[in-house]
Structure formats: structure tokens, C-alpha cells
Amino acid sequence: MSKIVVLDYGSSNLRSVAKALEAVSESKDHVTVSNNKQIIIAADRVVFPGQGAIGQCMQNLKAQALDDVIRECINNKPFLGICLGLQSLMDHSDEDGGIAGLGIIPGKVRRFQSNVRDENSTVFKIPSMGWNQVFQKQVHPLWNGIEDGSRFYFVHSYYVEPKIESDIAGETEYICKYTSVIARDNLFASQFHPEKSQHDGLALLKNFVNWKI
Amino acid sequence: MGLAKRVIPCLDVDNGRVVKGVRFIDIKDAGDPIEVARRYDEQGADEITFLDITASSDDRDTMLHVVEAVASQVFIPLTVGGGIRTTEDIQRMLNAGADKLSINTAAVNNPEFVQQASNQFGSQCIVVAIDAKQVSDDPLKWEVFTHGGRNPTGLDAIEWAKKMAAYGAGEILLTSMDRDGTRDGFDLALTSAISEAVDIPVIASGGVGNLSHLAEGVLKGRADAVLAASIFHFGEHTVAEAKQHMVDRNIEVRL
């Protein structure tokens, strides 16, 4: 029996995440989407998916006191951040004119540089939208059965720049080489969307559901 | 190495059924969008686009059920277009499991709708579909049309694409109405002109008749993704064959 709660702060991709978790869980009844503090704190595992703009995300988290719930959960249970659920863990983001993040992982969130061209003089589009390779920088239970350099689905204009090297669990290259996965203790957070990354994404979610700390 | 160019099969859905002749070997019901979507997923499609062509708005809920069923079995991005006019329409489709919504006529009628939608849901899920027709040879000019190319809007396609990008569109789905259904290949001049004009990704659509056309959409059209319907539907080519052809032309794809 494992209760998995998808934290609902009003992001648009909750259903996709819940459906993917249901597909890899033993019994789908254990996956709940909730913004209720008690339910989230009582969960065995928490998934924090995010999408959209970080300013709105931080505002919603604070308005519902979910920022403190996240801090509490990160200390004591398997915790998976996705996309904005990774970026909002940092100290600060350049998005929306500069926004303070949750400050759980030291470092910043930066925007991809505009008007950079590739070797065929085609401009790199922003957002980075599509399947890109993730190179694993840590041996981690969530990488079990996933080949190094596998492709995952990304949609983002900003990327994280962690201060502490040992927090980096995956790297990707687009315009620059950047951190696409952070892992520390019971926290694992990806810039890509495992719920939309077919076999390898589902494998990662299954590893999360079975992750023993 | 880096971001892969995407191959996106498109399904036209009328009242819950795939239309325009989908033919596969070992498929029980080629009109069932769930079965067809699963097949494309197995072949390595990078995303799937559904275009709801249901005429009556009473039947639109059917599409919600289709999206819901597909989203619980296929774990790649799903885009839904056709009849998306309000933020409530967007919310319902997202709740059903869609990842991106494609907006066409509603954007032309009310450009602020795109702004409002991208503010509310994030630009990552707002695709603006542009149907363009060439209206001048020298200089080359294309105009935006709606209703399957029947209604001119007076809008210049390049200016319109820039405006939509500025209004928060996350991506542009560009269809050449001159090429759509011809199997003569994408309008490469149009595709590269739009792709150069905006810094958001552009999906090329309209006219694919063979695998070489897909590669040219990327190499000459500078498209970030290529969309096709009939070459996949009639079982002439699989998505996997399309990707292998692109690899042979030195295009980076997800295999």
C-alpha cells in the first residue's frame, strides 16, 4: 500500500501526470490529486508537477500554504518534481522580472539565450520543445533500466543552474549544456516530463513508485 | 546532438471516429482513434495531433471522451484542434488529458484570446494554427485563411505569425492551403519564411506525399516538426520509416 499524491496548486498538466502514475502503479486507487494539506502530508510519496509561469506558481503555492507542505514532504518521503516543480525549488528565477523560489536547492533559474544559431545558421527556438537526451550524472534508483543518453520530452524556456555539483543528476544540451535533473536524498526533480516521455518516462515513474528510502 | 526534430501524425476525427481512410494491417477497427493512436505511438510518433472536424457542436463532447481514453494509454504529447473557442474549452480538454490545444479561427476572430489563454494555462499548451495561401509571386506573400481555405482574412501570414508569437503562442502549426491534399510536398518558401520570422517552434503541414518531403520540411523549410496524415494513414509508410529516412538525411530524430 502506497499513497501517491499529485500536488495540485492549479497547474494544467495534473491529469496527464496522474494518468501516467496510475498506469505504472499496482492499483490505481492509490493515486490522488489534491491540494489538501493533511492528505499531502499523510501521503507516502508526493509528485509536484508544474507548468506555466513561475510567478503564478509561487503565488498559488503561498496562497494555499503549500510551500510549507512541500518543505515538510521533501524532508521525509520520496518526492518527485516535474518541470516547474524543479525550477521552483531553486533560490531565484529570472522569469517574471525576478522571483524568489522555495530556496530548497541553492541556485538560479535562467532563460535560454535568444537568437543563437546552429551550424546550419538556423536559430534555436525558444521554448525548447521536444525530445532531448539526458546524460546521467549520478547512479540513482530512478535511473534503473534507463539507458544513459535516453530521450525525454521537454517544453521549457528556462533552465536551472544549481550551485552544488553533487545535486546534479542529469544534463542536457540545448543552446548550452544545462542541468536537466536534480537529485538529493529523497528528492528527484526533472526538467522534462516523464508522464509524456513514453517507455523511458513510464520506467522512471515506475522506479519512483517503487523507490525505497 | 540535441533536440530531435519531431514527426507528428495527424488524425481527423469526426464524431469520435477517424476519417479519411486509415488502413493498417492487424488493426481491428481502423476508425477507432484509440487504436490508431496506439499504433502510431508504437511506431515512434513524437506527438499525436487530433483535429476534431465534427460539424455539430452538440457532438463535441465525443472528442473529450476520445482524448480521455487515448491519454490513459498513450504517454506522448497530445494536441487537440478544432472548435477550441473559449478558455472553458481549453480547461475541459486539459482535464481530459490533452497537452496542447490548437487554436485557429478563434485566434483570427479575437487575437486577445491567445493572450488570455497563454496567460492562464501557459504558452507551452497553446498552439496557433495558421492556414496560409500564396497571394503574390513577387514579392512572395501569403494570406491567412480560415474555414479550410474558404474565408480570406486579409492578414499577412508572416505578420500574423509574429503577432501570435508575441501574444504568447508556444508553437505554430503552419498549413499551406495550396499544398494541403496535393501530395506535392510542403510549401518550403512559406515554411522557412515563417520559421525565420518567429523564435517559437514551427510545425510544417500540408502536402506531404513521400518521405523525402518530410526531410525537406526540416532541411529547406527549417521546420522544427513535420506533420502528416495520409502517408501514414494508408499504410504506405510507418512513422519509423519516416524517421529512418530523416536519419539517412542527417536529421536528428528520436529512434
pLDDT band at B116 (very low <50, low <70, confident <90, very high): very high
pLDDT band at B1 (very low <50, low <70, confident <90, very high): low
Domain ranges of chain A: 3-209
The whole-number pLDDT of residue B24 equals: 66
For the four alpha carbons of A119, A132, A193 and B83, in that order, the dihedral sign comes to positive
For the four alpha carbons of A9, A13, A15 and A16, in that order, the dihedral sign comes to negative
Instruction: Find the range with the poorest average confidence among B24-33, B46-55, B219-228.
Output: B24-33
* A92-120 core/surface letters (b: 16 or more CB in 10 A; e: else): ebebeeebebbebbebbbbebeeeeeeee
Kindly state the cell numbers that stand for A73.
Answer: 514532504
Query: Under a CB-based contact definition with an 8 Å cutoff, are residues B129 and B103 in contact?
Result: yes
Instruction: Kindly list the residues from chain A whose CB atom is less than 8 angstroms away from the CB atom of residue B249.
Output: none
Rounded to whole angstroms, how far apart are CA atoms B31 and B25?
Answer: 13
pLDDT value at B58 more than 70? no
pLDDT band at B235 (very low <50, low <70, confident <90, very high): confident
- Give which of B99, B188, B251 to mutate to test A binding, by max A Cβ within 10 Å: B99
Query: Under a CB-based contact definition with an 8 Å cutoff, are residues A45 and A80 in contact?
Result: yes
The percent of residues above 70 in pLDDT, for chain A, comes to 99
* Residues of B designated catalytic: 12, 131
Confirm whether A57 is a catalytic residue. no
Q: Residue B47 — φ and ψ, nearest 5°? A: -160, 170
Given the residues A83, A156, A173, A199, the one annotated as active site: A83
Fold of A3-209: Rossmann fold (3.40.50)
SS3 for B120? Answer: helix
Q: How much is the average pLDDT of A174-201? A: 97
Nearest to A104 by CA among A69, A139, A55, A155: A69
Kindly state the cell numbers that stand for B179.
Answer: 499544398
Instruction: Kindly list the residues from chain A whose CB atom is less than 8 angstroms away from the CB atom of residue B196.
Output: 123
Kindly state the cell numbers that stand for A136.
Answer: 546521467
Judged by CB atoms closer than 8 Å, whether chains meet at B94 and A15 is answered as yes
Q: How much is the average pLDDT of A91-97? A: 93
Kindly state the cell numbers that stand for A22.
Answer: 496510475
SS3 for A9? Answer: coil
Give the pTM.
Answer: 0.96
Nearest to B2 by CA among A93, A115, A8, A119: A119
Q: How much is the average pLDDT of A135-147? A: 98
pLDDT value at B158 more than 70? yes
Range of A149-153, B32-36, B91-95 with top mean pLDDT: A149-153
More confident residue, B155 or A26: B155
Query: Under a CB-based contact definition with an 8 Å cutoff, are residues B20 and B37 in contact?
Result: no
Q: Which residue has the cell 492509490?
A: A30
pLDDT band at A158 (very low <50, low <70, confident <90, very high): very high
pLDDT value at A46 more than 80? yes
ipTM entry? 0.95
Out of B4, B99, B170, whose CB is closest to A131? B4
For the four alpha carbons of B88, A158, A63 and A7, in that order, the dihedral sign comes to positive
Rounded to whole angstroms, how far apart are CA atoms B148 and B177?
Answer: 8
